[in-house]
Chain A
Amino acid sequence: MTRRSGLHLAPALTLALMLGPVLAGLLGTLAPALGLFPALGGTEISGAPFMKLIQWPGLGPAVRLSMTTGLLATLLSLGITAVLLAAWHGTAAFRWLERALAPLLSVPHAAAAFGIAFLIAPSGWIARALSPWATGWQYPPDLLIVQDPWGIAMTMGLVAKELPFLVLMALAALPQAQPGRSMLVAQALGYGRMTGWLKAVFPRVYAQIRLPVYAVLAYSMTVVDVAIILGPNTPPPLSVQVVRWMSDPDLTLRFQAAAGAMLQLALVLAALGLWRLGEGVVARLGHGWALRGGRGTRDGALRFLTMGVGAASVAAILLGLAGLALWSVAGVWRFPHLLPDTLSLRSWARHGPGLSDPALDTLWIAAAATLIALALVVACLESEHRYGLKTSTRSLWLLYLPLLVPQIAFLPGVQTLALMLGGDTGRGAVILSHVVFVLPYVFLSLGDPFRSWDSRHATVAAALGASPARTLWAVRLPMLLAPVLTAAAVGFAVSVGQYLPTLLIGGGRVQTLTTEAVALASGGDRRIIGVYALAQTGLVMLGFAAAIAIPRVLWRNRRGVKEG
Chain B
Amino acid sequence: MTGGYLMKSLIAAAAIAASATPGLSDPNPGDWSAVVAEAAGQTVYWNAWGGSTATNDFIRWAGDQVKSRHDVTVEHVKLSDTADAVSRVLAEKTAGKDQGGAVDLIWINGANFAAMKDKGLLFGPWAQSQPNWGIVDVDGKPAVINDFTVPTDGLESPWAMAQVVFYYDSARLPEPPRTMAALADWAAAHPGRFTFPQPPDFLGATFMKQALYGMVADPAVLQRPVDHVDYTAATAPLWEFLDGLTPHLWRQGRAYPQSGPRQIQMMADGEIDLAISFSPGEASTAIANGELPDTVRSFVMEGGTIGNASFVAIPYNANAKAGAMVLANFLLSPEAQARAQNPDVLGYGTVLAMDKLSAEDRARFDALELGIATLSPADLGPALPEPHPSWMVQIEQDWTAKFGVAK
Interface residues, chain A, with chain B CB atoms under 8 Å away: 37-40, 57-58, 61, 121-123, 139-140, 142, 144, 146-149, 228, 232-235, 244, 246-251, 254, 331-335, 342, 344, 346, 350-351, 354, 412, 415-417, 419-420, 422, 425, 503, 507-509, 511, 515-516, 518-528
Contacts and interface: CB of A to CB of B under 8 A. Distances in A.
Contacts of B393: 250
A522 B83 CA distance: 14
Mostly, the A contact residues are: loop
A524 B191 CA distance: 23
Given A142-B250, A233-B255, A526-B265, A249 B102 contact: no
Interface stretch (B108-116, B151-159, B327-335): B108-116
B401 A520 contact: no
Contact of A142 (B80, B95, B251): B251
A57 B401 contact: yes
Contacts of A508: 45, 47, 77, 79, 84-85, 88, 102-103
B90 A251 contact: yes
Given A508-B47, A523-B261, 19 more contacts: A40-B90, A57-B400, A121-B269, A123-B269, A142-B271, A232-B406, A234-B405, A235-B406, A248-B83, A249-B111, A251-B119, A419-B96, A508-B84, A508-B102, A520-B51, A521-B51, A524-B261, A524-B265, A525-B264
Given A123-B271, A509-B75, A524-B264, A247 B83 contact: yes
Of B258, B261, B406, which is in contact with the most chain A CB atoms at under 10 Å from its CB?
Answer: B406
B50 A144 contact: no
A144 B251 contact: yes
Nearest to A41: B119
Given A249-B112, A509-B75, A525-B265, A235 B404 contact: yes
A53 to B, nearest CB: 14
Contact of B254 (A58, A144, A416): A144
B95 A416 contact: yes
A234 B103 contact: no
Interface in B247-294: 250-259, 261-262, 264-266, 268-271, 289-291, 293
B97 interface: yes
Contacts of A251: 86, 90, 115, 119
B110 A233 contact: no
Contacts of B50: 516, 519-520, 522
B179 interface: no
B80 A518 contact: yes
B2 to A, nearest CB: 38
B371 interface: no
Given A149-B254, A425-B102, A522-B51, A58 B261 contact: no
Nearest to A327: B265
Nearest to A508: B77
A412 B251 CA distance: 35
Nearest to B392: A249
Interface in B389-407: 393, 400-401, 403-406
10 contacts: A58-B406, A122-B271, A248-B83, A249-B112, A332-B293, A419-B97, A507-B102, A508-B85, A519-B79, A523-B51
Given A250-B115, A523-B261, A419 B254 contact: no
B290 A515 contact: no
Most buried by B among A346, A516, A525: A525
A39 B293 contact: no
A528 B53 contact: yes
B225 to A, nearest CB: 14
Given A234-B405, A234-B406, A523-B261, A509 B270 contact: no
Contacts of B111: 249-250
Nearest to B261: A523
B358 interface: no
A121 B91 CA distance: 39
Contact of A39 (B94, B200, B259): B94
Given A249-B111, A251-B86, A140 B269 contact: yes
B185 interface: no
Given A335-B270, A419-B91, A522 B80 contact: yes
B362 interface: no
Interface string B138-154: 00000000000000000
Interface residues of B, number: 74
B70 interface: no
Contact of B94 (A37, A123, A503): A37
A39 B255 contact: no
A320 to B, nearest CB: 16
A271 to B, nearest CB: 22
Contacts of A420: 95-96
Nearest to B114: A249
B402 to A, nearest CB: 9
A146 B271 CA distance: 13
A511 B102 CA distance: 13
B143 to A, nearest CB: 18
Given A234-B254, A508-B84, A244 B200 contact: yes
Contacts of A503: 84
A142 B45 CA distance: 43
Which 4 residue pairs of A and B lie closest in terms of their CB atoms, listed nearest first? A142-B192, A507-B102, A419-B95, A524-B262
B268 A334 contact: yes
B9 interface: no
A519 B78 contact: yes
B71 interface: no
A83 B159 CA distance: 60
A423 B264 CA distance: 42
Contacts of B289: 346
B361 interface: no
A140 B271 contact: yes
Given A234-B406, A249-B110, A415 B91 contact: yes
B64 interface: no
B270 A123 contact: yes
Contacts of B254: 144, 149, 232, 234
Contacts of B115: 249-251
Contacts of B405: 57-58, 61, 234-235
B290 A331 contact: yes
A334 B293 CA distance: 9
A510 to B, nearest CB: 10
Contacts of B268: 333-334
B52 A523 contact: yes
Contact of A249 (B49, B83, B255, B262): B83
Interface in B54-101: 56-57, 60, 75, 77-88, 90-97
A244 B192 CA distance: 26
Given A61-B406, A416-B95, A228 B52 contact: no
B206 interface: no
B290 A525 contact: no
B327 to A, nearest CB: 16
A247 B400 contact: no
A525 B261 contact: yes
A509 B78 contact: no
A344 B405 CA distance: 41
B198 interface: yes
B90 A39 contact: yes
B83 A416 contact: no
Contacts of B83: 246-249
A449 to B, nearest CB: 39
A144 B255 contact: yes
A396 to B, nearest CB: 32
A523 B404 contact: no
A523 B261 CA distance: 5
B57 A525 contact: no
Of B49, B84, B87, most buried by chain A (CB within 10 Å of CB) is: B87
Interface in B307-326: none
A145 B7 CA distance: 56
Contacts of A147: 251, 255
A267 to B, nearest CB: 18
B200 A228 contact: no
A40 B269 CA distance: 44
